[in-house]
Chains A and B, each alone.
Chain A
Amino acid sequence: EAGVVQSPRYKIIEKKQPVAFWCNPISGHNTLYWYLQNLGQGPELLIRYENEEAVDDSQLPKDRFSAERLKGVDSTLKIQPAELGDSAVYLCASSAGTSGHNEQFFGPGTRLTVL
């Protein structure tokens, strides 16, 4: 079974430029999460999708971040414009459900460097 796929793995951009990350969850997983992980910290949830609906985006900085999950499968996270402080690893995860018994599987992440 294929795991969570993310691309690109690495991205270097100048500040104020836009950037987008893509995620393909495990087949059949209807719940998709985007996390941000800063160096030396644990992942922090940005947004959670149930199928195509964003049901928890309270931690998403909506002035510059946006996300979509068209057709309830793949998802894209966008930053426009990027700031120096956005340099981090962006992790996508998926699970088969949302109860406490559903394991979240993480993708390899996209390491973003903003210069």
Chain B
Amino acid sequence: QKEVEQNSGPLSVPEGAIASLNCTYSDRGSQSFFWYRQYSGKSPELIMFIYSNGDKEDGRFTAQLNKASQYVSLLIRDSQPSDSATYLCAVGRGGGYNKLIFGAGTRLAVHP
């Protein structure tokens, strides 16, 4: 079992729709959770982080965390073609050192 699992996709959504990206993790001691966006041939860039159970909203993005289910998700509202990228879920183990374990990423394709 991988430590951080994501569906590789591609997830195809029409422009203007809500894209839902999911991630599960195996380490119950994980304390911090990150979503990175990576365009093809580019480096990862942080979109959002979440530490507490519940929802966290930032513009068109909402991160959701459920530690009991070991599940974190990213919702993208009003999806745009420019959102087409690979979305990487990363989990931090805490303990004073934020070593990130990355999932393999979900490729999102937003079509006009």
Interface residues of A (CB under 8 A from B): 40-45, 48, 56, 91, 95, 98-109
B residues 83-112 touching A (CB-CB < 8 Å): 88, 90, 92, 94, 96-100, 102-105
Residues of A with C-beta under 8 A to B8: 40
Q: Say whether B105 contacts A99, CB under 8 Å.
A: no
Q: Say whether A100 contacts B31, CB under 8 Å.
A: yes
Is B61's CB within 8 Å of the partner chain A?
no
Number of interface residues of B (CB under 8 A): 24
Q: Say whether B4 contacts A42, CB under 8 Å.
A: yes
Interface stretch, picked from B14-22, B41-49, B62-70, is B41-49
Is B51's CB within 8 Å of the partner chain A?
yes
Q: Say whether B49 contacts A44, CB under 8 Å.
A: no
- Give 8 nearest A-B pairs by CB, closest first: A42-B102, A100-B32, A106-B43, A100-B98, A98-B97, A100-B92, A41-B104, A42-B88
7 contacts between A and B (CB under 8 A): A43-B102, A45-B99, A48-B99, A56-B97, A99-B96, A105-B46, A108-B43
Q: Say whether A100 contacts B4, CB under 8 Å.
A: no
If A41-B104, A99-B96, A99-B98 touch, whether A108 touches B42 (CB-CB below 8 Å) is yes
Residues of B with C-beta under 8 A to A41: 104-105
B67 nearest CB across to chain A (Å): 14
Write the chain A residue with the least CB distance to B88: A42
Q: Say whether B96 contacts A103, CB under 8 Å.
A: no
CA gap between A9 and B99 in the complex, in Å: 25
Write the chain B residue with the least CB distance to A40: B104
Residues of A with C-beta under 8 A to B92: 100
Interface centre among A44, A102, A106, A109 (most CB of B within 10 A): A106
Q: A43-B102, A95-B98 are in contact. List 13 more A-B contacts (CB 8 A).
A: A40-B8, A41-B105, A42-B4, A42-B102, A43-B88, A43-B100, A44-B102, A91-B44, A98-B98, A101-B32, A104-B46, A108-B42, A108-B43
